[in-house]
Amino acid sequence: MTEDAATHEDAPTDAETTPGFEELGITGPVLAAIKALGYETPSAIQRETIPLLLGGRDVLGTAQTGTGKTAAFALPILENLDLQQRKPQALVLAPTRELALQVAEAFEAYAAQMPGVHLLPVYGGQGYGVQLSALRRGVHIIVGTPGRIMDHLAKGTLDLSELKNLVLDEADEMLKMGFAEDVEQILAQTPEDKQVALFSATMPATIRRLAQQYLHDPEEISVKAKTTTNANITQRYLVVSYAQKVDALTRILEVENFEGMIVFVRTKNETETLAEKLRARGYSAAAINGDIAQPQRERTVGQLKDGKLDILVATDVAARGLDVERISHVVNFDIPTDTESYVHRIGRTGRAGRSGDAISFITPRERYLLKHIERATRQQPAQMQLPTTEDVNSTRLARFDDAITAALEETGRIEGFRDIIAHYVRHHDVPEADVAAALAVVAQGDTPLLLDPQNDALSAAVAADNRPPRERNDRSGGRDARARDDRGPRPERRSRGDYTPYRIEVGRRHRVEPRQIVGALANEGGLGRDDFGAINIKPDFSIVELPSNLDPSVLDRLRDTRISGRLIEIQRDTGRPSRGPRRDDRGRDDRGYGDRPRRSYDGGSGDRGYGDRSRRDDAPRDDRRTDDRPPRKPRHKD
List of domains in the chain: 6-225 (3.40.50.300), 233-387 (3.40.50.300), 390-444 (no CATH), 468-624 (3.30.70.330)
Give the confidence band of 395 by pLDDT, cuts at 50, 70, 90.
confident
Q: Quick one: average pLDDT of 359-365? A: 90
Residue 230 has what pLDDT?
A: 65
CB atoms within 10 A of CB 596: 12
What would the pLDDT profile of 407-459 be if each residue is shown by its tens digit? 888 777 787 788 788 888 888 888 888 888 888 888 777 777 777 776 667 77
Residue of 496, 531, 500 lying closest to 517 (CA atoms) = 531
Q: What are phi and psi of 450, to 5 degrees?
A: -115, 145
What would the pLDDT profile of 514-526 be if each residue is shown by its tens digit? 878 888 888 777 7
For the ranges 14-18, 481-485, 548-552, the maximum mean pLDDT occurs at 548-552
Residue of 147, 148, 192 lying closest to 166 (CA atoms) = 192
Residue 228 has what pLDDT?
A: 55
Q: Is the pLDDT of residue 77 over 60?
A: yes
At 470 the three-state DSSP class reads: helix
Percent of the chain with pLDDT over 70: 78
* β-bridge mates for residue 166, sequence order: 91, 196
Q: What are phi and psi of 307, to 5 degrees?
A: 85, 5
For the ranges 34-38, 261-265, 578-582, the maximum mean pLDDT occurs at 261-265
Measure CA of the first residue to CA of the last residue in the chain; give whole Å: 63
Q: Quick one: average pLDDT of 273-291? A: 90
Query: Is the CB of residue 173 less than 8 Å from the CB of residue 100?
Result: no
What would the pLDDT profile of 115-138 be if each residue is shown by its tens digit? 999 999 998 777 788 889 999 999
What would the pLDDT profile of 177-193 be if each residue is shown by its tens digit? 778 888 989 998 999 99
Query: Is the CB of residue 425 less than 8 Å from the CB of residue 432?
Result: yes
The per-residue pLDDT of the chain, averaged, comes to 77
Percent of the chain with pLDDT over 90: 28
Distances (CA, A) of 563 to 375, 479, 529: 33, 22, 17
CB atoms within 10 A of CB 294: 7
CB atoms within 10 A of CB 42: 23
Residue 88 has what pLDDT?
A: 95
Residue of 419, 345, 356, 336 lying closest to 99 (CA atoms) = 336
Lowest mean pLDDT among 193-197, 310-314, 331-335, 535-539: 535-539
Give the confidence band of 262 by pLDDT, cuts at 50, 70, 90.
very high
Lowest mean pLDDT among 90-99, 158-167, 510-519: 510-519
Give the confidence band of 565 by pLDDT, cuts at 50, 70, 90.
confident
Residue of 609, 504, 626, 545 lying closest to 617 (CA atoms) = 609
Query: Is the CB of residue 349 less than 8 Å from the CB of residue 329?
Result: yes
Q: Quick one: average pLDDT of 530-546? A: 86
Residue 464 has what pLDDT?
A: 67
Between 603 and 119, the more confident residue is 119
Q: What are phi and psi of 365, to 5 degrees?
A: -80, -5
In this prediction the pTM is 0.48
Residue 624 has what pLDDT?
A: 37
* β-bridge mates for residue 165, sequence order: 90, 195
Residue 226 has what pLDDT?
A: 54
